[in-house]
Amino acid sequence: MNQVRVRFAPSPTGYLHIGGVRTALFNWLFARHEKGVFILRIEDTDRARSTPEAIQAILDGMKWVGLGWDEGPIYQTDCLAIYKEQADRLLAEGKAYLCYCTEEELDARRKEALARKELPKYDGRCRRRSGAAPAGVSPVTRFVSPQDGQTIVHDLIKGDVTFDNAQLDDLVIVRSNGVPTYNFGVVVDDARMAITHVIRGDDHLNNTPRQILLYRALGYEPPQFGHLSMILGMDKVKLSKRHGATSVLEYQEAGYLPEALTNYLVRLGWSHGDQEVFSSQEMIEKFSLENITRSPAAFNPEKLLWLNGHYLKTGDTKRVAELLLPFLRKRGVLDGGAQPDSAWLEKLVVALRERAQTLVEMADKAAPFFQESVIMDQEAAKKFLTAAVRPAFARLVAVLEQTSVFEHDALEQGFKSVLAETGLSMGKLAQPVRVALTGTTVSPGIFDVMALLGRERTLARLKKAIDLMG
């Protein structure tokens, strides 16, 4: 069998959305699994709606999620001459014709047909037109579509889907301004790029019979098709902006890890037994078109969050620490130019990652470790920084001043000696200390907090708390 060649072909009319990423991911996985080629093609023939910003957003999004392409990006607007050439060929072979019907005429006829309860398709009258071309009308090019028989799509995911050719009309392949229509551009490109498998959303399933007919008319063997079901929102309606973030880059900004997003997305419509967590290597090894579900899937943000938390916990600490930096800066936790000690930052990540599901959350929780002095939660202070614990605090300060290594185990030992002396339980002392050190009632383990803060800040904060006790 020939080498697999697949493509992802977004229109740059907006950001790269989640559904698009999943389509791209499945194509990419298939290509990698089959040791084939993954091509990126930008379908920018809709010039009114395509923007350079959108193109950039697509490229950035693809890079962020780690879907590298082997060929491209190829822009359709660079290929206009090729579509024209192919359309001219069809014209010359009598497989296409020029149509001079105006928008108004077509509209009127459509309404008439509807009134007669007939199919409102083009009646093909310009097919039979003879004589001179009407003046002042720039024609569109229409494809001569067979009116009998059936076209069967042997879909890799949906199975065989049969369409009556009588349903299809003579579709426009080139507009009056010379720009190819979507269906024509796709076919010409997929054919000349020797695409072997077209894996795309099932919103294109209905276009497929027309495309197969076009392939044949152009003298190409159609590729294999695989139509993926759509991703829906939790309310079972097609995923859109009102469901929250739908652009990949929004997920980046919200503190998600790309591997969490791809892992989440791969399980939306595909499975490998009961396995939920896949490294990208595993995905490539195990991916197959046979295990794709036919039914549409609802996007569940909570499961994505869980996976993100999982990857935050299990990911390489050095990498997580690096990824965290921009979030610390953005949250104003860290000054723009400041560069924290990397070993220390990794320790902070280890302490925080059990309790954060996103990098944004982690950056928030990191705040007390960067501030010179704590921002005290007044209610917590009132409740925990009472005169009753002052003697214990005083003892703790004395002990900590003597502690030679300011690290977890030594700190625990010192802390516990204070408990033994004062007769306080762990909880009775740890919670006030937590408030004194972080300003809040929630934090990593208290010994980790002290170690992370270091001797100086720990002692300063404890002393300040003693003052607050009045």
Partner RNA sequence: GGUCCCAUCGUCUAGCUUGGCCUAGGACGGUGCCCUCUCAAGGCAUAAACACGGGUUCAAAUCCCGUUGGGACCA
Q: Footprint of RNA on this chain (CB under 7 A)?
A: 110, 114, 117, 119-121, 158-159, 161-164, 167, 202-203, 205-207, 229-230, 232, 234, 236-238, 267-271, 273-274, 276, 291, 293-298, 300, 302-303, 305-306, 309-310, 313, 354-355, 426-427, 430-431, 434, 441-447
| Residues in the chain, overall count | 470
**CB nearer to RNA: pick between 73 and 309:** 309
Query: Which backbone phi and psi does 196 adopt, to 5 degrees?
Result: -95, -30
Question: Rounded to the nearest whole angstrom, what is the least distance from the CB of residue 295 to RNA in the complex?
Answer: 3
Q: Which is nearer to RNA, 178 or 301 (CB)?
A: 301
Q: Which two tokens stand for residue 182?
A: 């979507």
Q: Which amino acid belongs to residue 160?
A: D
Write down the least CB distance from residue 436 to RNA, Å: 12
Give the list of residues 6+ apart from residue 29 with CB closer than 8 angstroms, or none: 266, 283, 284, 287
**Is the CB of 22 or the CB of 95 nearer to RNA?**
22
Burial letters 72-83, b for 16+ CB under 10 A, else e: ebbebeebeeeb
Residue 56 structure tokens: 């950039």
Amino acid of residue 80:
L
Cβ atoms of residues 66 and 280 within 8 Å: yes
The single-letter code of the amino acid at 69 is: W
Rounded to 5 degrees, φ, ψ at 158 are -90, -10
Catalytic one among 63, 241, 382, 383? Answer: 241
Least separation in angstroms between residue 408's CB and RNA is 9
**Contact between 334 and 325 (Cβ < 8 Å):** yes
Q: What angle, 0 to 180 degrees and rounded to 10, lies between the N-to-C axes of helices 52-65 and 18-33?
A: 50
Return the number of the residue (73 or 262) whose C-beta is nearest RNA. Answer: 262
- Amino acid at residue number 434: R
Which residue, 121 or 175, has its beta carbon nearer to RNA?
A: 121
Active site residue 286: no
Q: How far is the CB of 219 from RNA (least distance, A)?
A: 25
Q: How far is the CB of 179 from RNA (least distance, A)?
A: 16
Q: How far is CA 24 from the centre of its chain?
A: 10
For the chain, the farthest-separated pair of C-alpha atoms sits apart, in whole angstroms, at 110
Q: Which residues are catalytic?
A: 241
